[in-house]
C-alpha cells in the first residue's frame, strides 16, 4: 500500500477542481473517487500533529488527528460519497464541484490543528455552501443564498475576532477547551454557535437549505452544523450554558416543523432539533455525553441525508414541495417511501435503528448526572421528534389523502444512495459496537435492555397516537412562520427605508439651498465674466493702442529716474 502524506481535505479539494477540468465522461470517476480516496487517507493518519506549514508569522498545524476528529472526518467523507452518488447524474457539474469543496472544508476543520487552520477551512465551507445554495437556480435561491452568505460571513468575522483575541492574549493558537471567562472566548463561542444554528440566529438554516436543488439540500444538511458540533466538543465541552441552548434548539425545531408546510423545510427545522440534542450533550460534558453527542452526529448525518434524499427524490420527480400538494406517493414510489420511512424511524430513535443507539446515550448521561429536568425535556423531545419528523414527514408526503400524483421512483443512482444510507441506518442500529468502537472515549453502555426498548416504544407509539388523534389541529396551511429573520428581512429593510426617505427629504432641502446659492453666485459671475460681462467684452483696437501708449509713456517717465 502507498502512503498518503497530503492532508485529506486537499484530496477532496483537488477533486473539486478536477470536476470542472476533466471530460464530462470522467466526472463520475472524480466525484465518486475523490471522497473514497479521502476516506482512505483519513484512515492512514496516525494520532497527533502530523503536518505543519508556515503561514504569516505562525507555524500552523494543517493536520492533527485523534479518534474524535477521525470520526467526524470519516462521516464527512462518507457523506461526500453518498451525496455525490445521489447527485452525479442529475446535478450540474458546478454544484458537484462546490459540494466537494464544501466537504473538503468540513474535513479540513475536522483535522485542523490550530485556530488559524480551522478558520481558513471554516470560511472555505461558508463560500462553497453558499454556491451550493445558489445552485438551486431560482430567484428565491439567489436571494436566500445572499442572506445565507451574509449570516456566515458575519459569523466568520465574530469567530475571527475571538481567535485573534486568543492569539494576542495567550499567544497560543492551539485548539483546546477554553473557559468562558473572556471576551475572546465568548466571541469564538458565538461564531461557532451561528454555524450550529443556535438561537437567536437559527432562521438562516430553514431559510436557505430548502431553496437549494434536490441534491443540494442533501449536502447542506450534513457539514456546516456538524463541524460546529465538533468545534464545540473541542473548544467548549461541559459548558453548562450549552445544555439550555441545546434544549431551546430542540423545541424550536419541533414547534416550527409542526407549523411548516414545505417538506424540506420541515426537515431543515428538524436539523436544528437534532443538533440541539448534540449541543445539549456537549453541555452535559461527561465522557458518556460527549460519546453520545459524537455518535449522534455520525448517525444523524446518515439518516438526515437519507430523509433529504427521499424528499429530494419526491421534488425531483414531482416538482412539488408543499405537503398540501403531496400525498399517496407510496403507491408508485415504493423505494423512496420505504427509505424515507427508515430515515424517519432512525431520526425518531426507534429500536434497531441508528438513532436509538446514539441519542439514548445523551439521555443516559443526563440521568447519570441526576439532571432530572434535562432528562424530562429530552424524553419529551424524543417523543416530539417522532411527532414532527418521524410521522409528519412520511405521513404528509407519502400517505394522507391521495393527491392523485403517480410519479415513479427516481433514477437508479438516487435509489442506490438512499438504499445505501437506509442500510447504514439499520446496520448501525443492529450492531452498535461498530460505531461505539470509533467514539473518543471507551463505551460502557448497553442500549438494548428489555426495559429500554419497552419504554422507548411506549414513548414513541403514544406520540404517534397523539399525532393521529390531533390530526385535525395539524391541517396544512399554505403559510410560512415568522422567525428572528423577520428582523433583518422585514423590520431592517423597513427601518432602512424610513431612514432613506428621511435622508432624501433632508438632502432635498440642502440641495435646494445649495442650488439657490449657486444661482446667486452664477448670476454674479456671469454679470462680470459672462459673454455680456464687463471683463469679457471685446475691446476696440484704438482703445488698446491708447492704453499701450499710456503704458509706454509711464515706462519712459519711470526710466528717467
Partner 1 sequence: MKTDENHHKHWLYRPENRRPLWWGFILILGATVLAQVAIHVHGHFGFDGWFGFNAIYGFTSCALMVVFAKVLGLLLKRSEDYYDSDV
Tell which residue, 154, 132, 300, has the closest CA to residue 220: 132
Residue ranges of alpha helices (H) inside 171-239 are: 183-195, 203-208, 216-220, 223-235
Identity of the residue, 328 or 411, whose beta carbon is nearer to partner 1 in the bound complex: 328
**Number of residues engaging partner 1 in binding (CB under 8 A):** 53
Return the C-alpha cell found at 458: 411506549
Q: Give yes or no for residue 451 binding partner 1 (CB under 8 A).
A: yes
Least distance in Å: CB of 47 to partner 1? 35
Nearer to partner 1 by C-beta: 132 or 460? 460
At its nearest, how many Å lie between partner 1 and the CB of residue 487?
Answer: 12
Q: How far is the CB of 43 from partner 1 (least distance, A)?
A: 37
Residue 556 touching partner 1 (CB under 8 A): no
Stretch that binds partner 1, among 5-13, 381-389, 431-439, 522-530 (CB under 8 A): 381-389
- Rounded to an integer, what distance in angstroms lies between the CA atom of residue 248 and that of residue 111? 29
Determine which residue in the list 50, 380, 416, 419 makes contact with partner 1, applying CB under 8 A: 380
Which residue, 406 or 509, has its beta carbon nearer to partner 1?
406
Residue with cell 440641495: 511
Query: What single-letter DSSP state applies at residue 49?
Result: E
Per DSSP, 356 falls in state: H
474 Cβ neighbours under 8 A, 6+ residues apart = 258, 392, 467
Out of 372, 495, 502, 519, the only residue in the binding site for partner 1 (CB under 8 A) is 372
Q: What's the distance, CA 525 to chain centroid?
A: 63
Helix (H), strand (E) at residue 85: helix 67-87
Q: Which is nearer to partner 1, 190 or 380 (CB)?
A: 380
Contact call for residues 97 and 13 (beta carbons, < 8 A): no
Burial code of 237-258, b = ≥16 C-beta within 10 A, e = fewer? bebeebbebbbbbbbbbbebbb
List beta partners, residue 262. Answer: 322
Among 4, 258, 426, 427, binds partner 1 (CB under 8 A): 258
The rounded distance, in Å, linking the Cα atoms of 84 and 28 is: 8
Task: Give dist(CA 232, CA 427) in Å, integer.
Answer: 28
SS3 400: coil
Q: Which is nearer to partner 1, 89 or 489 (CB)?
A: 489
Residue placing its CB nearer to partner 1 in the complex, 83 or 292: 292
**Closer CB to partner 1, 116 or 366, in the complex:** 366
**Measured from the CB atom, is 174 or 478 closer to partner 1?**
478
- How far is Cα 235 from Cα 247, in angstroms, rounded to an integer? 20
Which of 74, 100, 195, 456 contacts partner 1 by CB under 8 A?
456
The reply on whether position 489 binds partner 1 by CB under 8 A is yes
Of 48, 67, 493, 533, the one binding partner 1 by CB under 8 A: 493
The answer to whether the Cα torsion of 415, 416, 419, 425 is positive or negative is negative
Closest CA to 232 of 284, 292, 285, 192: 192
Q: How far is the CB of 502 from partner 1 (least distance, A)?
A: 19
First to last CA, the chain: 110
507: its cell numbers? 438632502
Identify whether the C-beta of residue 84 lies closer than 8 Å to the C-beta of residue 99. yes
| 511 Cβ contact list (under 8 Å, min separation 6) | none
Q: Minimum CB separation from partner 1 for residue 464, in Å?
A: 8
Residue 455 touching partner 1 (CB under 8 A): yes
Binding part of the chain for partner 1, among 24-32, 127-135, 339-347, 466-474 by CB under 8 A, reads 466-474
Crossing angle (nearest 10°) for helices 8-21 and 27-44: 170
Phi/psi at 262 (5° precision) = -75, 125
Residue 268: name the closest of 202, 330, 193, 320 by CA. 202
By CB under 8 A, residue 399 contacts partner 1: yes
Site for partner 1 in 495-534 (CB under 8 A): none
Please pick, from the candidates 1, 171, 442, 479, the single residue that binds partner 1 as defined by CB under 8 A.
479
Q: Which stretch binds partner 1 (CB under 8 A): 175-183, 313-321, 416-424, 487-495?
A: 487-495
Q: Which of 423, 480, 499, 550 binds partner 1 (CB under 8 A)?
A: 480
146 binds partner 1 per the rule CB under 8 A = no
467 binds partner 1 (CB under 8 A): yes
By the rule CB under 8 A, 458 interacts with partner 1: yes
Q: Quick one: cell of 558?
A: 519711470
Query: Which of 395-427 are b and which e, b meaning 16 or more Cβ less than 10 Å from the residue's Cβ?
Result: bbbbbbeebebebebbeebbbebbbbbbebbbe
Report the residue number, 6 or 367, with the smaller CB distance to partner 1.
367
Task: Identify the residue among 180, 466, 476, 530 touching partner 1 (CB under 8 A).
Answer: 466
Ranges within 295-354 binding partner 1 (CB under 8 A): 328, 331
Nearer to partner 1, 178 or 383 (CB): 383
Does the protein bind partner 1 through residue 444 (CB under 8 A)?
no
> Based on the number of CB atoms within 10 Å of its own CB, is 503 exposed (0-12), middle (13-18) or buried (19 or more)?
exposed
Quick one: which of 473, 535, 556, 557 contacts partner 1 (CB under 8 A)? 473
Instruction: Rule CB under 8 A: choose which of 37, 120, 367, 426 binds partner 1.
Output: 367
Task: Identify which of residues 494 and 549 has a Cβ nearer to partner 1 in the complex.
Answer: 494
Q: Applying CB under 8 A, which of residues 52, 66, 481, 530 lies at the interface with partner 1?
A: 481
Residue in 30, 203, 228, 254 binding partner 1, rule: CB under 8 A: 254
Task: Give 287 or 368: the residue with its C-beta nearer to partner 1.
Answer: 368
> Can you spell out the DSSP letters for 223-256?
HHHHHHHHHHHHH-TT-HHHHHHHHHHHHHHHHH
With CB under 8 A as the contact rule, which of the stretches 8-16, 22-30, 35-43, 370-378 interacts with partner 1? Answer: 370-378
Q: Does 14 bind partner 1 (CB under 8 A)?
A: no
Sites of contact with partner 1 (CB under 8 A): 251, 254-255, 258-259, 328, 331, 367-368, 370, 372, 375, 379-380, 383-384, 386-387, 399, 402, 404, 450-451, 454-470, 473-474, 477-483, 489-490, 493-494
Amino acid at each position: 500500500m502507498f502512503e498518503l502524506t497530503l492532508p485529506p481535505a486537499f484530496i477532496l479539494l483537488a477533486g473539486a477542481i478536477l470536476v470542472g477540468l476533466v471530460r464530462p465522461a470522467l466526472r463520475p470517476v472524480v466525484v465518486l473517487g475523490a471522497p473514497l480516496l479521502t476516506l482512505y487517507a483519513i484512515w492512514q493518519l496516525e494520532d497527533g500533529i502530523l503536518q505543519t506549514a508556515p503561514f504569516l508569522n505562525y507555524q500552523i498545524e494543517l493536520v492533527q488527528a485523534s479518534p474524535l476528529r477521525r470520526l467526524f472526518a470519516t462521516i464527512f467523507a462518507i457523506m461526500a460519497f453518498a451525496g455525490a452518488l445521489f447527485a452525479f447524474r442529475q446535478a450540474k457539474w458546478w454544484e458537484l464541484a462546490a459540494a466537494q469543496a464544501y466537504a473538503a472544508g468540513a474535513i479540513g476543520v475536522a483535522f485542523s490543528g490550530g485556530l488559524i487552520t480551522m478558520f481558513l477551512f471554516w470560511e472555505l465551507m461558508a463560500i462553497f455552501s453558499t454556491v451550493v445554495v445558489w445552485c438551486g437556480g431560482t430567484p428565491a435561491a439567489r436571494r436566500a443564498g445572499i442572506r445565507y452568505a451574509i449570516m456566515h460571513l458575519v459569523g466568520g468575522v465574530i469567530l475571527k475576532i475571538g481567535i485573534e483575541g486568543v492569539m494576542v492574549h495567550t499567544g497560543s493558537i492551539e485548539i483546546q477547551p477554553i473557559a468562558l471567562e473572556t471576551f475572546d472566548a465568548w466571541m469564538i463561542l458565538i461564531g461557532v454557535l451561528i454555524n450550529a444554528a443556535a438561537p437567536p440566529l437559527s432562521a438562516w438554516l430553514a431559510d436557505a437549505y430548502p431553496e437549494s436543488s434536490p441534491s443540494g439540500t442533501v449536502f447542506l444538511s450534513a457539514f456546516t452544523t456538524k463541524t460546529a458540533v465538533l468545534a464545540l466538543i473541542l473548544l467548549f465541552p461541559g459548558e453548562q450554558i450549552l445544555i439550555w441552548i441545546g434544549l431551546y434548539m430542540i423545541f424550536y425545531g419541533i414547534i416550527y416543523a409542526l407549523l411548516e408546510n414545505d417538506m424540506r423545510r420541515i426537515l431543515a427545522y428538524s436539523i436544528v432539533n437534532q443538533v440541539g440534542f448534540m449541543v445539549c450533550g456537549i453541555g452535559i460534558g461527561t465522557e458518556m455525553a460527549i460519546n453520545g453527542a459524537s455518535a449522534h452526529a455520525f448517525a444523524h448525518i446518515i439518516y438526515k441525508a437519507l430523509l433529504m434524499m427521499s424528499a429530494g427524490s419526491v421534488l425531483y420527480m414531482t416538482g412539488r414541495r408543499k405537503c398540501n400538494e403531496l400525498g399517496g406517493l407510496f403507491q408508485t414510489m415504493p423505494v423512496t417511501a420505504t427509505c424515507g420511512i427508515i430515515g424517519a424511524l432512525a431520526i425518531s430513535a426507534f429500536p434497531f435503528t441508528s438513532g436509538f443507539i446514539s441519542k439514548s446515550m445523551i439521555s443516559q448521561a443526563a440521568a447519570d448526572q441526576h439532571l432530572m429536568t434535562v432528562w424530562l425535556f429530552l424524553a419529551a423531545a424524543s417523543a416530539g421528534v417522532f411527532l414532527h419528523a418521524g410521522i409528519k414527514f412520511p405521513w404528509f408526503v407519502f400517505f394522507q389523502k391521495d393527491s392523485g400524483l403517480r410519479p415513479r421512483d427516481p433514477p437508479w443512482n438516487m435509489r442506490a444512495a438512499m438504499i445505501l444510507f437506509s442500510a447504514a441506518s439499520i446496520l448501525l442500529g443492529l450492531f452498535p459496537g461498530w460505531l461505539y468502537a470509533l467514539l473518543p472515549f471507551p463505551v460502557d453502555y448497553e442500549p438494548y435492555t428489555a426495559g429500554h426498548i419497552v419504554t422507548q416504544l411506549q414513548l414513541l407509539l403514544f406520540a404517534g397516537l397523539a399525532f393521529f388523534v390531533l390530526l385535525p389541529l395539524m391541517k396544512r396551511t399554505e403559510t410560512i412562520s415568522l422567525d428572528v429573520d423577520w428582523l433583518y428581512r422585514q423590520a431592517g429593510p423597513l427601518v432602512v427605508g424610513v431612514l432613506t426617505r428621511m435622508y432624501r427629504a433632508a438632502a432635498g432641502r440642502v440641495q435646494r439651498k445649495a442650488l439657490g446659492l449657486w444661482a446667486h453666485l452664477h448670476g454674479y459671475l456671469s454679470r462680470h465674466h459672462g459673454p455680456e460681462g464687463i471683463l469679457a467684452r471685446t475691446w476696440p483696437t484704438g482703445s488698446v493702442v491708447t492704453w499701450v501708449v499710456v503704458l509706454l509713456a509711464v515706462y519712459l517717465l519711470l526710466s528717467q529716474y
